[in-house]
Amino acid sequence: MAVNMQARITDNLKASINGGFSGGQKVIGAGMLYQWK
């Protein structure tokens, strides 16, 4: 099972949260992405 959420804060700034369950392990990652036009 994997979860991926993205939120657009502004036109250039995006926040993402990634989570996954593999066996007994939980993997969670969060990141911010800025795009230059």
Instruction: Give CA–CA dist 18/26, Å, rounded.
Output: 11
Per-residue pLDDT, 6: 84
Per-residue pLDDT, 5: 82
Per-residue pLDDT, 16: 86
Residues forming beta bridges with residue 16, ordered by sequence position = 6, 31
Q: For the CA atoms of the chain, what is the radius of gyration?
A: 12
Q: Provide the pLDDT confidence category of residue 4 given band limits of 50, 70 and 90.
A: confident
Residues forming beta bridges with residue 32, ordered by sequence position = 15
Q: Which helix (H) or strand (E) holds 14?
A: strand 13-22
User: Is there a contact between 6 and 16 (Cβ–Cβ < 8 Å)?
Assistant: yes
Average pLDDT over residues 15-21: 84
pLDDT at 35 over 80: no
pLDDT at 17 over 80: yes
